Amino acid sequence: MAHYFPFVLISAGYGPGIDVLREKPFLSLVIAMLGCVQDRIRQRELVLSCRKYITMRVVEASEKGLDLLQGILVLVHWYLLQFELPNQRGVLMHLAMGLVVDMSLNKSPFTRNRVMKVSEAANGYELKIEGVVEHTLEERRAYLGCVYLSSVLSKSVLNTDAVHFSDYTAQCCQVLEGSNLASDRYLLHLMDLQRIVERFETARSLVTKSQALTAQRYKSCHKDNGPDYSTLGISHGKQWNNVLTAAWDSIRTEDRTELLLVQYCYARACIFEAGLDDSQFLTVQDRFETLNECVARIRDFHDAFFSVASNPDVLFDVPSHVFGQSNHIMSVAGQICSIQCEEWSGKRAGQDMGLVELMDSTLLALDSIFRSHADMGMQPPPYFNRLAPMARAVQNWYMTRFGNSRDGGEATVAVAQDVPVEFDFLEGFFDFDDSLWLQGALDSEGALLPSGTRV
């Protein structure tokens, strides 16, 4: 588990498994659920048991503890295993955020927690620190896990505000820098990349808010010796791309895992996604340069993600938010292909991103993985049975868009695990007003959800 989610570790100090079960009953239940790879029906039953446990302990009994926080974080991290059940991802994420606050894990124990009452301040207002100890490494990791998950989910899956990267977040990371565990190094790399994404989003928001004033200044006050704002958009993106690249270059080669590469490529694509908003650019050339950078970064992301998703030993262990990020990138790619602008070719952009070929490769990889797992008696989670028809629908749309559909638009690749898709792709599935169109397109029964519905 440390390879995928280094924020929750099972310490060797617990000894036999019975010790873990006694000390961390909820986390043990969640881990048992994750391990039911050969019996998905039993796995679904354990997911329901996890939800009932949360209801009784957190909602009814108002319990708070590290075991509950760690278990909820792991549940959210591999949320795709709950695909068939009513969606509770946002609720679970907010429960974790609430536990972090209630347990005061989001600030130093030596920070004054509240305003003191007059009776408590009778002997002075000095902060009493007798018996106060620093948070343990386990507590710090759980807190950082909540910060990380809330951040990545808010960017690709959930419409919610994330836990902010604070000075105490940086202090916790600094403490973990002294750890000798490879998983802690991986944790720090994840946090560093995501922190840059948060900083970029904040800076981009400020640029967007000031864009109207900038345009007004450029149009009415620009002179030969005055300020030139004509390259604001692309220069802004390139600066943050350089920051990300420097962070990636600082990571040792042996620490650059495939999933970490996916996060790096996703962050770079998000930077140049700004090209979709023409209001952020004062010249067409500036916007085109940003869009071309976005096309290149999307191709990089697809190469990195396909390397992970086509690995039969890894696919079913990929965290849920990574699929959300892939869906987000597919949405951005589709919008780039649909831009109506003089001298911009959506068809050429689609060809440069290799979208049709990507869907071909995806369908073949899924077919191979499903067959090999069936031969070993392993069942794919229900979520993955939807991937093939979704990939085919995306492929058909692209081929229609590019004018090179095959056999009337039907894909030529046969996939073993095939579920019919009963919807009009252009009018229903591809909703440009909703950047989460892939997540919201199918409900638990595979039917099309109403426009604007979020999962």
Q: How confident is the model at residue 405 (pLDDT cuts 50, 70, 90)?
A: very low
Question: How many degrees, rounded to 5, is the angle at CA 202 between CA 336 and CA 242?
Answer: 70
For residue 164, how far is the Cα from the chain centroid? 16
* pLDDT band at residue 125 using 50, 70 and 90 as cut-offs: low
* Dihedral Cα 238, 243, 245, 250, nearest 10 deg: 170
pLDDT tens string 371-389: 877 777 677 788 787 778 8
User: Residues 147-163: pLDDT tens digits?
Assistant: 999 999 988 877 778 88
Average pLDDT value over all residues in the chain: 78
Segment 200-207 long-range contacts (CB within 8 Å, at least 24 positions apart): 200/240, 200/243, 200/267, 200/270, 200/271, 201/155, 203/236, 203/240, 204/236, 204/274, 207/232, 207/236, 207/280
Which residues make Cβ contacts (< 8 Å) with residue 122, sequence separation at least 6? none
The 3-state DSSP class for residue 108 equals: coil
Report the percentage of the chain scoring pLDDT > 70.
75
- Give 218-266 pLDDT, tens digit per residue: 444 444 443 333 344 567 788 889 999 999 999 999 999 999 999 999 9
Phi first, then psi, for residue 442 (nearest 5°) are -120, 135
Is residue 422 classed exposed, middle or buried when 0-12, 13-18 and 19+ CB atoms within 10 A define those classes?
exposed
Beta bridge partners of 97: none
pLDDT, one tens digit per residue, over 37-76 is 788 889 889 999 999 999 999 988 889 999 999 999 999 9
